[in-house]
Amino acid sequence: MDITDYSYVVVGSGLLGAVVAERIASQLDQPVLVIEKRDHIGGNCYSAVDPATGIEYHRYGTHIFHTSNEKVWNYIRRYTTFNSYRHKVLSCYNDRLYQFPINLETINRFYNVNLKPYEVDAFMDTVRKGGAGEPSNFEEQAIARLGRDLYEAFFKYYTVKQWQADPRDLPASIFNRLPFRKNYDDNYFFDRWQGIPEKGYTDLFQRLFADKKIRVMLNTDYFDLRHRLKKDACLIYSGPIDRLFDYKYGRLSWRTLRFEQEVVDKEDYQGNAVINYPGPDIPYTRIHEPRHLHPEKAYRKDKTIIFREYSLADKGDEPYYPIPSESNQRLLALYQQEARMLKNIFISGRLGDYKYYDMHQTIDKALEIFETGVLPLTRTIHAV
């Protein structure tokens, strides 16, 4: 089939594109063309086996699947089996390791006390020393909840390193993403279901794309080829929204990441998948050791691989995280207004919506686009 013949075109082979393509092929029984500019499928969830160690790792940063959404959980398990991994993070402050996010163990260790859960509130009142008014930014919110000592130890410089911005210029909502627990629960996520695909994320994507009606073109930029596609094709676009409109109002900014990889001649380098480094003296934000993501695998015992993560605001080639500033939100609103005028085009995913989505939210979004957008459109046009 020639590329000019496809009535369904998906831009991007990440989770958004893969789920919509799978739905179109399996539910509408229609051919789908998936266009991907990278040399691999899977978008930022892409995983591969490191040749030096045999360890499965995530090229764009550690990805842990977690959800409480039953529909998403039931859908995705048709394409993969999840292992029993539960995400727990440690934070290294002044060369000592603490459980993170802050819980009772963190407080007891940090202040060298031995509090019971019911004593935490009164103790925190003494260390918080009150704050003036309603917190209006990250720093004020953190101090209001945890006091200045814990804020400066675990949050202030980490956030400066991560966002390359003053925490007083960041919204309180970013701080609120993390819980503060008055018990010994050290799970990073609250969700009902959690795990890592036993065979890796790339295998999951291969299964999503397995239908013969789906054709994936790698190393292909949609904008180099769009003049050749069917004019009235239904387009699902998961690339950056500003690019779709030739950046006519200006560019949205992104925070990007850089990973420094090292193979270490040890079975276990740090004893945990992720350790955060909140101090100003260490340039990276965290170290990932992916062997811990697969406790079910018998990896070799003489080598491990680690990745030091550095954050770069708007300097790298790869967009990772939207930057929640007022100017970006204004720009986004202009592009979204243009997008609403387009027919037969669905723009979404983390690049299309310019929104941080966890994987389960991306899948939910993809299912919604198929059910409430692509399906009704198909019924109207083709009377399916």
- Should residue 301 be labelled a site residue for ligand UDP when binding is judged by CB under 6 A? no
What amino acid occupies position 111? Y
The SS3 assignment for 322 reads strand
Closest alpha carbon to 10 in 1, 2, 377, 25: 25
Structure tokens of 67?
A: 């959800």
| Length of the chain in terms of residues written | 384
State the binding string over 259-298 for ligand UDP (x if CB under 6 A, else -): -----------------x-x--------------------
Task: Measure the CA–CA gap between 180 and 153, rounded to whole angstroms.
Answer: 15
- Should residue 177 be labelled a site residue for ligand UDP when binding is judged by CB under 6 A? yes
Closest alpha carbon to 216 in 39, 5, 16: 39
Q: 181 an active-site residue? A: yes
- Should residue 290 be labelled a site residue for ligand FAD when binding is judged by CB under 6 A? no
- Should residue 72 be labelled a site residue for ligand FAD when binding is judged by CB under 6 A? no
Q: 191 an active-site residue? A: no
Q: 152 an active-site residue? A: no
The partner in contact with residue 36, picked from ligand FAD, ligand UDP, none with C-beta cut-offs of 5 to 8 angstroms by kind, is: ligand FAD
Identify the residue among 6, 9, 13, 150 touching ligand FAD (CB under 6 A): 13
Nearer to ligand FAD, 147 or 197 (CB): 197
- Should residue 98 be labelled a site residue for ligand UDP when binding is judged by CB under 6 A? no
Q: How far is the CB of 125 from ligand FAD (least distance, A)?
A: 34
CB 87 within 8 A of CB 194: yes
User: Which residue in 356, 368, 371, 379 is the catalytic one?
Assistant: 356
The SS3 assignment for 172 reads helix
Task: Measure the CA–CA gap between 158 and 260, rounded to whole angstroms.
Answer: 18
Identify the residue among 172, 214, 257, 275 touching ligand FAD (CB under 6 A): 257
User: Which residue in 23, 145, 255, 350 is the catalytic one?
Assistant: 255
Q: How far is the CB of 167 from ligand FAD (least distance, A)?
A: 20
Structure tokens of 143?
A: 């101090």
Q: 356 an active-site residue? A: yes
Task: Measure the CA–CA gap between 276 and 90, rounded to whole angstroms.
Answer: 6
Q: Taking CB under 6 A as the criterion, which residues in 294-313 touch ligand FAD?
A: none
Q: 93 an active-site residue? A: no
- Should residue 16 be labelled a site residue for ligand FAD when binding is judged by CB under 6 A? yes
Give the phi and the psi of residue 237 in degrees, each rounded to 5: -110, 115
User: Which residue in 6, 8, 139, 181 is the catalytic one?
Assistant: 181
CB 105 within 8 A of CB 181: no
* C-alpha dist (Å) from residue 52 to 244, 270, 300: 40, 19, 10
Identify the residue among 21, 35, 234, 374 touching ligand FAD (CB under 6 A): 35
Task: Measure the CA–CA gap between 368 and 348, rounded to whole angstroms.
Answer: 11
The partner in contact with residue 8, picked from ligand FAD, ligand UDP, none with C-beta cut-offs of 5 to 8 angstroms by kind, is: none
Q: 255 an active-site residue? A: yes
Task: Determine the Cα angle at 131 with ends 129 and 137, to 5°.
Answer: 135
Placement of tokens 């591969």 in the chain: 48
The SS3 assignment for 135 reads coil
Which of these segments, 56-64, 69-77, 125-133, 266-274, binds ligand FAD (CB under 6 A)?
A: 56-64
Which of these segments, 274-282, 330-338, 351-359, 375-383, binds ligand FAD (CB under 6 A)?
A: 351-359
The partner in contact with residue 178, picked from ligand UDP, ligand FAD, none with C-beta cut-offs of 5 to 8 angstroms by kind, is: ligand UDP
What is the C-alpha end-to-end distance of the chain, expressed in Å? 21
How many residues belong to the site for ligand FAD (CB under 6 A)? Answer: 35
CB 350 within 8 A of CB 322: yes
Task: Determine the Cα angle at 190 with ends 186 and 192, to 5°.
Answer: 120
Residue 168 DSSP label: G
Q: 286 an active-site residue? A: yes
Residues within the interface to ligand UDP (CB under 6 A): 91, 100, 154-155, 158-159, 162, 174-175, 177-178, 276, 278
Residues within the interface to ligand FAD (CB under 6 A): 11-17, 35-38, 43-45, 60-65, 221-223, 238-239, 257, 320, 349-351, 357-360, 362
Q: Which residues are catalytic?
A: 177, 181, 255, 286, 309, 356, 358
